[in-house]
Amino acid sequence: MSDPNPDTAHELTAEELAAIEEKYDEGAATRPVGANAALFLRAIAIVFAIYHYITAGFGLPADHWHMGWHLSGLFILTYAFFPILKTKGAFEMRKGPSQIGGIPILDIILMILGVAAALYVGMAWRGIEILGIEEQTFRMGNPNNYDMVFGVIIILLVLDIARRTLGWVLPLIISLFIIYALFGPYFSGLLQHPGVKFRTFVSSMYFPQEGIFGVTLWVVSTIVFHFVLFGVIAQRTGLGQLFIDNATILAGRYTGGPAKVSVVSSAFFGTISGSSVANTVSTGALTIPNMKRLGYPGHFAGGVEAASSAGGQITPPIMGAAAFIMAEFLELPYTTIVIAAIFPAVLHYVGVFTVVHLMARKLGLKGLAKEQLPQFAHVWREGWANIIPLIGLLWVLFSGYTPYMSAFCGISLAVVAGMSRLNEPPTLIYALAFAAFVVWKFMGGGFDPVTALILLTGSAVGTLNPQSRVKLPEMSESVELGVKYALAVGAASAAVGIVVGVINTTGIGFRIGFMVTQGAGNLASDIYNLLSFGQFAFFAVEDLQLFLSLVFIAIACILMGAGIPTTALYIMLVSVAQPALAQLGVPPIASHLFVLYYGVVAEITPPVCTSAYAAAAIANSPPFKTGISAFTLGLGKIVAPMAFVYAPVLLFVSSTGFDLWEFTYSATSCIMGVVALSAAVVGHWLAPMGAFNRILCAIAGLVFIAPSLSADAVALIIASPAIITQIVARRRTGGVAL
């Protein structure tokens, strides 16, 4: 099957790719500003990045100051780069008396108010005697007029920067939470509560520990920003290209090679990037044109890339912001979350890989020719140094140090590998500075001998990088880009802090959770009565109640995921899922990962699936059709989270314990389920598959997902007609089984 329009399979330029990313990643679309304003804002962005980099390595200031500085940077850069409304003319350069450097005066005023409100908490923490402001301890729950003014300002402006970066959906939902908190007595039934007084509400949302200055902003300002910056710098210094080249070497030669390269490279790239759109654009620039040249339809090529890239947020070791927040919510080390996420990520990519393989067999597509593949020796001879930063980051992370210390070391090694060269002595300043830091930490007991030795070795070896050196202006552009990427997640984290505050204040999470389990219990009883025959019943009421609760929560995740970032969706829905599923005996880490997984699935669920739309722009294919392809490619993932609720052993670290045999059996059952669903989606396994056999495979796949001997036996019985038919059809054509 050839591309009907070969001209659409050309590789896009860097400028075209940047335009696609800006169009579909709402956090990347920024307005132009004047030359002087651009220099000033670049300086602000670089200072913002350097501040976070230094505090990660040398120690954090008090939380209220640290989060205040972070918020200040968010307000300055967001109001400078994001227009009040995203009209077509808003992204054109404007001049006039109401503009300063292309920035409207109104936005400059809002910028100043935001900075003042963000820093007021720190400045008034110990009290300001001349203004009659007492210490913050005495004002908790009883804010003065200054607190009220700045508190109202920051609540409104946080909602505004979330709207500017992410659109209207998230602020509107947060506004509903605010209304619920303030007007609780006017709600009926279980949702009714005494209500929160306005002064108490503002105090709770403004002062640290909960609300805006709560755990979500702390995690983003202390951990997530650093990993975003690491991902951008590491990609700029060559790690992203190293991933793509090795994925091509590993998978390019096989059936449907370029599509498998897309899956493998997205999995690799997902280890350093928590952004689905950035992942799509970075790897899709190469893989989508190659898939189209091979013969895949454009919408399918785009769908493959979008479905693969969506896994970036659940791919260890560097997952999306939600994973770091999960660690704080569960009060577990981030490394525990990483270990728990390994099998869910594997299952994600197994599902996409299987569909890609079966579609390639159905279309009769071959792999890349040997001369089209990169040479292993050449790739590693040129790019070996780019893996050093990732090794250093992972070593520090899994040695028990803080995530932000591991990010500091990863960024430092990326800078060394990118900018220091042994044959250019002045550039060794970067390597020597990091080596001095490692020695200083070791002498103070901050690093153990092995960690210090590994980091010093990495710093020294990185200077031998044979690739061209990254110049300072190029690195500053990468740093600025990293800061821009972090604006949207920072705005979302600050705004969603309001939701966390409302949940803690009103208990709405437990109320809705109880309603979910109660509704599921009532429906389960009705189904049980319908399907039971005397003493015999197919399922117990408790099993039906758990299954229906999971379905309700999954549907809520997918529906609310239309237009809400994964991080915000996770925070809002886990407050409902955790209490509901805890009542049914589900371990906390399983319920949290269940919600996170469905938050990621929502990213490729039409009608709002930005990753798929970005891929469609690269593939020059219909956006909605590409979204449907991405959704069907990810169909196996929709039921996969059910598996680690029913079999928490798949998460390795669940409170239920780990058993190797139970894990092996459960994992095999889940993979069989995903393969069966994939065959049903494609309509091909060993041979073309008719509608009846596709239905049988789909039903069998769903049954396989709940691992148990009885369920698997039923699944095999259901699938047996399709399996037998496929084997017979394959033998007739003279082929082999796989």
* Stretch 408-428: mean pLDDT: 94
Domain that holds residue 704: 659-738
Residue 723 lies in a domain: yes
CA distances from 124 to 121, 217, 685 (A): 5, 20, 67
Quick one: pLDDT at residue 27? 53
Q: Which of 501-505, 614-618, 677-681 has the lowest mean pLDDT?
A: 614-618
Q: At 659, is the pLDDT very low, low, confident or very high (cuts 50, 70, 90)?
A: confident
* Number of domains making up the chain: 1
Residue 449 lies in a domain: no
For 293-325, the pLDDT digits (tens) are 777 788 888 888 888 777 777 888 877 778 888
* Stretch 140-161: mean pLDDT: 93
DSSP track, 148-214: HHHHHHHHHHHHHHHHHHH-SHHHHHHHHHHHHHHTGGGS-GGG------HHHHHHHHHSTTSGGGS
Is pLDDT of 274 > 70?
A: no
Q: What is the CA radius of gyration of the chain?
A: 27
CA distances from 230 to 225, 236, 408, 464, 710 (A): 9, 10, 8, 21, 47
Is pLDDT of 511 > 80?
A: yes
**8 Å CB contact between 286 and 258:** no
Q: At 474, is the pLDDT very low, low, confident or very high (cuts 50, 70, 90)?
A: very high
Quick one: pLDDT at residue 361? 83
Is pLDDT of 28 > 90?
A: no
Coil vs helix vs strand at 263: helix
DSSP track, 462-485: HTT--SPPPPHHHHHHHHHHHHHH
What would the two tokens of residue 475 be?
A: 């690195």
For 57-113, the pLDDT digits (tens) are 999 999 999 999 999 999 999 999 998 887 766 667 777 777 888 899 999 999 999
Q: Which residue is it, tokens 């949302």?
A: 205
More confident of the two residues 453 and 232? 453
Report d(CA 501, CA 130) in Å as an integer. 31
Q: Which residues of 46-78 are buried (b: 16+ CB within 10 A; e: fewer)?
A: eebbeebbebbbeebeebbebbbbbbbbbbbbb
Is pLDDT of 7 > 50?
A: no
More confident of the two residues 563 and 551? 551
Q: Which residue is it, tokens 């200040």?
A: 72
Q: Which of the 8 DSSP states describes residue 104? A: E
Which class for 371: exposed (0-12), middle (13-18), buried (19 or more C-beta within 10 A)?
exposed
For 514-560, the pLDDT digits (tens) are 888 888 888 888 887 887 776 666 667 887 888 888 888 888 877 77
Report d(CA 266, CA 19) in Å as an integer. 20
Residue 670 lies in a domain: yes
Mean pLDDT of the chain: 84
Dihedral sign from CA coordinates of 14, 232, 214, 324: positive
**8 Å CB contact between 722 and 696:** yes
Q: Which residues of 420-430 are buried (b: 16+ CB within 10 A; e: fewer)?
A: bbeeeeebbeb
Report d(CA 383, CA 493) in Å as an integer. 36
Residue 733 lies in a domain: yes
Residue 393 lies in a domain: no
Peptide bond into 449 cis (omega under 30): no
CA geometry: angle 581, 582, 584, nearest 5 deg: 65
Is pLDDT of 26 > 60?
A: no
Q: Which of 123-137, 398-412, 616-630 has the lowest mean pLDDT?
A: 616-630
**8 Å CB contact between 569 and 321:** no
Is pLDDT of 736 > 60?
A: no
What would the two tokens of residue 431 be?
A: 């390597």
Dihedral sign from CA coordinates of 8, 13, 14, 15: negative
Quick one: pLDDT at residue 703? 84
Residue 474 lies in a domain: no
For 571-620, the pLDDT digits (tens) are 888 887 888 888 888 888 988 988 888 887 777 777 667 778 788 888 88
Is pLDDT of 645 > 90?
A: no
Quick one: pLDDT at residue 110? 96
More confident of the two residues 416 and 35? 416
Residue 260's nearest CA partner among 218, 294, 219 is: 294
Residue % of the chain over a pLDDT of 90: 30
More confident of the two residues 637 and 419? 419
* Stretch 222-235: mean pLDDT: 87
Report d(CA 262, CA 311) in Å as an integer. 12
Q: Which of the 8 DSSP states describes residue 99? A: E
Q: At 5, is the pLDDT very low, low, confident or very high (cuts 50, 70, 90)?
A: very low
Is pLDDT of 386 > 70?
A: yes
| Helix count and strand count (H, E) for the chain | 33, 2
Residue 673 lies in a domain: yes
Residue 712 lies in a domain: yes
Q: CB-based contacts of 514: which residues, under 8 Å, 6+ apart?
A: 190, 579, 580, 583
